[in-house]
Structure 1
Amino acid sequence: MKIVQQDDVNFLLTNRLPRRLATRFIGWFSRIEQPLIRDASLAAWRFFADLDLSDAKQTRFRSMHDCFIRELKPGARPIDPDPAVLVSPCDAIVGACGSVEQGKVLQIKGLPYKVADLLGDPAHADTFRSGTYVTLRLTSSMYHRFHAPDDLIVTGVTHIGGDTWNVNPIALKRVERLFCRNERAVIRTRLARGGWPVALVPVAAILVAGIRLRFLDLSGVRREQGRTELACRTMIRRGEEMGWFEHGSTIILFAPSGFELCETVRTGGQVRVGQKLMQRPVRTGWEHGKRCCSRSPGISHGVACD
């Protein structure tokens, strides 16, 4: 009974308040650079969360926001060199994961949702029919930047406006299709080696002041509603930064049939940037990968987006 009551209070505090208003407020407040406010905010954050800054590139921050989006020391997240695997794009707790079944995946045990609803495109979702997915939840104290799981070509981004429900387990148990309700960016990619399609879906949440991409400017996109297709054609190297959240949230990664989760990836476990996440199919794809890169116009290393 006590646990149920605690869950009720948690859900009430994080989801029954004006979510957009709270998100805008934190977005503004976290950028205040006044030393007393900054220091008090960081002290409160340390008190309520397991904030570890030992691997941060800098030790002093201009504001709480500056700490949220911190970079890491060089070498703090070694990237697994095994070409047979995709690596984790972020530090995270592993949520629901496994196989896509009949076009559906799990939000949490007992609550499925359609991949087409999340991606906003039935044809794109069909690419991952019988494929593999993994939900990666970033808590507020974690490193908030995300990286390429392999050498890949970004072929486009779809921004889908929406709500900002909390994405913690309590909300996931109570709000059906939660990820499909929240603001998100669907990043369409193909692996440079093998040509397989892979999708990364950063999902915003309450207090997340925005999803930012290193290779594409989303600042002019209306966040609350609508669907915006953004043309993009750029090559990103394995382990290279793709973007960041301005608070904690979730990334859902989809790979097609033949990919499998690595044995170390389990629901409730933790992963870090660069650790093994998915095993590639056992087949030769190198020649196709070279053709994919060499015949795709407008692809270059770094920013090359329209």
Structure 2
Amino acid sequence: MGDFFRSLPQYLLPHHGLSRLVHAATRSRSPWLRGWLLGRFLDRFEVNLDEAERTDPADYQSFNDFFTRTLKHGARPIEDAPLVSPVDGYVSQQGDINGQKIFQAKGRQYRLDELLGRNCNIRGYRDGRFCTLYLAPHNYHRIHMPLAGRVSQIEHLPGRLFSVNPATTRVIPRLFARNERVAVHFETDYGPMAMVLIGALLVGSIETTWTGEITPPTRLSPRILPLPPGPSRQLAKGQEMGRFNMGSTVILILPTGAPNISRRLHPGARVQMGQSLVE
């Protein structure tokens, strides 16, 4: 019951209003505000700046510039495996898709067509596999390709901005299908693949490398977004494809013919971008 009562106030919060305020504050170049935000963050979270391209916090122009920091070349080697983690983070859940049903947490499920929206042909994903990866605040927040693929569709799906921390995930029904998100679909050697970038409370800003920032502002209805031009639609394994401006969750949706995700990656297991996900 503790998770329920801690999460209950989120139903009353002005999700998008709060996220817009955080969006403005984290992009401020005011030396005082930038320094205060960075100082509070670094006091609370352990961040390994030795692996970043800019190791001195003073070299970042804003808090968001720090939050979306790039890493030194070679800091995340891409393993020789058919499927690698697209992000640094923690496994929330992973396993088989039962028809259209995806396991969320603690007996809760949601449907594939709710997650991917009406404009998506879900047939290729039925009875496939999924992996839900949670990015904690201290993680590296750029998103990379888990395998090579060609972008086939990208859709912005408006929604709420509930927190996606483990406690909230356990108690809010259909959480990932209710939150604002961007679903990016690819054609791969194994068939269709989707990467769903989930927004969250105070995390209303999602972007891809070819569209730039998609949210905010939010919209009232889903919209199909432009594809990358020409040859740039083909992305290599390990190539950067997007980022969260503040942290959230990525859900990887795979077809039946894709490699099996290792059962050793139990809920709570830590992963790094480029690490093999297969058995």
Give me the TM-score of the superposition, normalised by structure 2: 0.90
Q: Give the whole-Å Cα distance in 1 for the aligned partners of 2:51 and 2:193.
A: 29
Q: Say whether 1:30 aligns with 2:30.
A: no
Q: Say whether 1:148 aligns with 2:137.
A: no
Residue 102 of structure 1 is aligned with which of 75, 78, 99? 99
Q: Give the whole-Å Cα distance in 1 for the aligned partners of 2:215 and 2:36.
A: 32
Partner of 1:262 in structure 2?
262
Structure 1: give runs of 5+ residues left out of the alignment: 280-306
Q: Give the whole-Å Cα distance in 2 for the aligned partners of 1:216 and 1:100.
A: 30
Partner of 1:56 in structure 2?
52
Q: Give the whole-Å Cα distance in 2 for the aligned partners of 1:10 and 1:72.
A: 35
Q: 1:225 Cα deviation (Å)?
A: 2.3
Q: Give the whole-Å Cα distance in 2 for the aligned partners of 1:203 and 1:185.
A: 7
Partner of 1:284 in structure 2?
none
Worse-superposed segment, 241-250 or 41-50: 41-50
Partner of 1:289 in structure 2?
none
Q: Give the whole-Å Cα distance in 2 for the aligned partners of 1:111 and 1:101.
A: 13
- Contact kept, 8 Å, 1:155 with 1:231, in 2: the verdict is no
Do the aligned partners of residues 206 and 120 (structure 1) sit closer, same or farther apart at CA in structure 2, a change above 3 Å counting?
Answer: same
Deviations 1:50-74 (A, max 9, x none): 3332211112211111111111111
Instruction: Supply the RMSD in Å over aligned alpha carbons.
Output: 2.1
| Secondary structure in structure 1 of the residue aligned to 2:110 | strand
Give me the TM-score of the superposition, normalised by structure 1: 0.82
Structure whose CA Rg is larger: 1
Q: Give the whole-Å Cα distance in 2 for the aligned partners of 1:278 and 1:229.
A: 32
- Number of equivalenced pairs: 271
Q: Give the whole-Å Cα distance in 2 for the aligned partners of 1:256 and 1:71.
A: 31
Partner of 2:76 in structure 1?
77
Deviations 1:173-231 (A, max 9, x none): 2211111111111101011xx25111100001111141010022454885242110124
Partner of 2:271 in structure 1?
271
Q: Give the whole-Å Cα distance in 1 for the aligned partners of 2:118 and 2:158.
A: 14
Q: Give the whole-Å Cα distance in 1 for the aligned partners of 2:245 and 2:10.
A: 17
Q: 1:123 Cα deviation (Å)?
A: 5.7
- Contact kept, 8 Å, 2:84 with 2:147, in 1: the verdict is yes
Q: Give the whole-Å Cα distance in 2 for the aligned partners of 1:122 and 1:277.
A: 29
Q: Give the whole-Å Cα distance in 2 for the aligned partners of 1:38 and 1:219.
A: 24
Q: Give the whole-Å Cα distance in 2 for the aligned partners of 1:204 and 1:27.
A: 13
Q: 1:13 Cα deviation (Å)?
A: 6.5
Partner of 2:67 in structure 1?
68
Q: Give the whole-Å Cα distance in 2 for the aligned partners of 1:218 and 1:42.
A: 22
- Residues 1-306 of structure 1 mapped to structure 2, 5 A cutoff: 4=2, 7=3, 10-11=6-7, 16-59=12-55, 60-82=59-81, 85-121=82-118, 124-191=121-188, 194=189, 196-219=191-214, 223-232=218-227, 234-259=233-258, 260-278=260-278
Counterpart residue type for residue 168 of structure 1:
N
Counterpart residue type for residue 187 of structure 2:
R
Q: Give the whole-Å Cα distance in 2 for the aligned partners of 1:220 and 1:210.
A: 5
Q: Which has the higher contact order (CA 8 A, sep 6+)?
A: 2
Q: 1:101 Cα deviation (Å)?
A: 0.4
Q: Give the whole-Å Cα distance in 2 for the aligned partners of 1:248 and 1:219.
A: 15
Q: 1:158 Cα deviation (Å)?
A: 1.0
Q: Identity of aligned pairs, percent?
A: 32
| Secondary structure in structure 1 of the residue aligned to 2:90 | strand
- Contact kept, 8 Å, 2:207 with 2:215, in 1: the verdict is no
Counterpart residue type for residue 105 of structure 2:
I
Worse-superposed segment, 86-95 or 11-20: 11-20
- Contact kept, 8 Å, 1:161 with 1:227, in 2: the verdict is yes
